[in-house]
A = this chain, B = another copy of it.
Amino acid sequence: MSDRHTAVPSMVSAPLPDPVPVGEYERCPVTDILRRVGDKWSILVIVLLGKRPYRFNELHRGIEVISQRMLTRTLRGLETDGLVHREVFPTKPPSVEYSLTPLGRTLLAPLSGLADWAVEHGPDIMAARAALDLDSSGETPSPARGIVRESA
């Protein structure tokens, strides 16, 4: 983290600074982006469009389990943010082609960083989950979760 984007600038280094409210205003742009892209379909669409342009029903067939509604909504959102370009060919019947904008393409690289992390450490997360599952299933029958689990 390069230290320029946090919504709580002073807090991060000072011991007990004044609380900085994080409201609708002045929020961390990183959180913004993560929430824009952290929904159920955006990434999949972005990655696909990173390969080549797609027509609407092509995407629909490709992802398959996505509902028409959500595909439309996802594409609209990405278009609104200038990440995806929508081009209508007035043929008959009409066809619509979606592609990444230059801005959208710049997102592929940082996305790749998190992608690699996910691939590399995904198993670690699964292991951590499994470990806690074992904890709560076996000994110390869920001690109401407060004490009991010391540092150990």
A-to-B contact residues, CB < 8 Å:
1-2, 4-8, 11-13, 16-17, 19-23, 28-40, 43-44, 47-48, 50-52, 58, 61-66, 79-83, 86-90, 94, 103, 106-119, 121-122, 124-125, 127-129, 131-132, 146-147, 149-151
Contact = CB atoms under 8 A, between A and B. Distances in A.
Contacts of A121: 103, 106-107
B51 A13 contact: yes
A65 B112 CA distance: 32
B114 A80 contact: no
Contacts of A22: 44, 63-66
Nearest to A117: B110
